[in-house]
Amino acid sequence: MTMEGAARIATLRPAVIEVAGLEKIFVTVSNERIHALHDISLAVGEREFVTIVGPSGCGKSTLLKLIAGLLPASAGRIAVGGKIVAAPRTDIGIVFQNPILLPWRTVIENVLLPAEVQGRPMAAARARARELLAMVGLAEFESKYPMELSGGMQQRAAISRALLCDPEILLMDEPFGALDAMTREQMNLDLQRIWREAGKTVVLITHSIPEAVFLGDRVIVMSPRPGRIVRVLDVPIPRPRSIDVMGEPLFGRLTGDIRKLLYGRDRDADTAGLGAAGGIA
């Protein structure tokens, strides 16, 4: 399975993220070894939108943290922009499942936080922050506090923050997982637009199969214990995609294929729960 996945990794565009033979083993307090990731190899091309889908405990969040340099790898190699990742990289933007806005800062102060921390020129950063907030539709909310914003608006502010220092790469860890279904669809459309306008490389993790297919140029399907890549699927649906593509036969076939990969053939797709595979996310 892994070989099949690896064979399809090659992209035509130059790779900005390269992962080869990655292993991650956690040692718990009780000295148990948890094999979180096994033999992960993948390459993400410039301006590509790659989604990673899998049940909880398949190590997809761990993979993202490794790429971001927030966790050390146990074995294998990760390179971003041709440079080996060893420590947190400031040239990568990250969006987490929760917006994690600091409640005592206004929206724009939150967006400016990375520039402030990295000692960048603030006047230019402020202008850029205004641009980004306008792009995500929060121009009028820059001096509001996070608690005055809805969940979807907070997450859009978090996306602006991730884009502030103009990173080539945007890593997103289930960014819309906490939103209701309708807001989530709107956020998917917005994200597609932002991605096309900003010209970034995006790796997005999700446990929603339709979201993975809707957003991704390619979908990486992972399975747990140990976390590994089972299949990489191309999504040849033209852009820009509207919500209507979800009704097309190709969309249905792709989501069906992924479901089969995740649930196995012996289980009814309607009743199978992804939660069966517990453990670390």
Partner 1 sequence: MTTIDLPPKEAAAPPGRLTLVMRTRPEIVLAPLLLAVVLLAWEYGVIWLDVPTYILPPPSRIAFAMWQGLDAGLLDRGGYWLHAGVTVAEVLLGFFIGSGVGLVLGTIISQFRILEATLRVYLVAIQSLPKVALAPIVVMWFGFGLTSKVVIICLLTFFPLLITSMAGFKAVDAERLELMRAFGARPWQIFWKVRFPSALPYIFAGLDMAAVLAVVGAVVGEFVGAQRGLGTLILSMNAQMDTAGTFSVFVILAIVGIVLYQGMRIIERRYLFWSGEHMRAIGS
Residues that bind partner 1 (CB under 8 A): 68, 70, 87-90, 92, 94, 96, 98, 100, 102-104, 113-114, 116-118, 145, 147
Put residue 225 in one of left, alpha, beta given phi > 0 → left and psi -120 to 50 → alpha: left
Within 13 Å, how many C-alpha atoms sit on residue 162's CB side? 30
Two tokens at 230? Answer: 């089972």
Q: Which is nearer to partner 1, 41 or 97 (CB)?
A: 97
96 vs 263 by CB, closer to partner 1: 96
Q: Which of 12/87 has CB closer to partner 1?
A: 87
Taking residue 248's Cβ as centre, other Cβ atoms within 10 Å add up to 12
Report d(CA 82, CA 78) in Å as an integer. Answer: 9
| Distance in Å, CB of 13 to partner 1, minimum | 26
Question: How many CB atoms lie under 10 A from the CB of residue 49?
Answer: 22
Question: Shortest Cβ distance from residue 72 to partner 1 (Å)?
Answer: 13
User: Dihedral (C-alpha) 196, 248, 253, 44: value to the nearest 10 degrees?
Assistant: -10
Helix (H) or strand (E) run with residue 204 in it: strand 201-206
CB 18 within 8 A of CB 238: no
Q: Which is nearer to partner 1, 174 or 217 (CB)?
A: 174
The distance of closest approach from Cβ of residue 104 to partner 1 in the complex, given in angstroms and rounded to an integer, is: 4
**Which residue's CB is nearer to partner 1, number 7 or number 87?**
87
Nearer to partner 1, 176 or 251 (CB): 176
- Residue 148 CB, shortest distance to partner 1, in Å, is 10
CA–CA separation, 185 and 199 (whole Å): 21
| Contacting residues for 223 by C-beta, under 8 A, at least 6 apart | 54, 55, 58, 230, 261, 262, 277
Least distance from partner 1 to the Cβ atom of residue 94, Å: 5
- In the complex, the smallest distance separating the C-beta of residue 217 from partner 1, rounded to whole angstroms, is 25
